Amino acid sequence: MNEAKKMPSDAEWYCRQDPEAERFYNIFFKLCRKYNISWASADEKEKAFIEEVTRVSYERDKALRDGKPLSDIRPAFAS
């Protein structure tokens, strides 16, 4: 079999969308707007905050969609 048939092209790989990544980034951008944080100009404290709030929000959303208990999610800012 031809190798070109087995491997997706660079363009195909680039254009393929991952629904979970899209959902994560939708939450990320929504929270950036909510807290008025511009990632490009955010300091380390703001970036850490928005990363953690996004993680928890995404994991809660996924758990609800998957029918899993919210108690399994690591709380925000917990080590």
Q: How many CB atoms lie within 10 A of CB 53?
A: 19
Instruction: Supply the pTM of this predicted model.
Output: 0.76
pLDDT recorded at residue 77? 87
pLDDT recorded at residue 71? 93
Q: Which of 4, 18, 67, 58 is nearest to 76 (CA)?
A: 58
pLDDT recorded at residue 15? 72
Report the pLDDT averaged over residues 50-56.
Answer: 96
Report the pLDDT averaged over residues 47-70.
Answer: 96
- pLDDT, tens digit, 9 for 90 and up, residues 7-47: 666 666 667 778 899 999 999 999 999 999 999 999 999 99
Asked if 32 and 50 count as a contact pair (C-beta separation under 8 A), the reply is yes
Helix axes 44-66, 19-34, angle to 10 degrees: 130
Domain edges within the chain: 19-72
Give the torsion sign (CA, 22, 25, 27, 29). Answer: negative
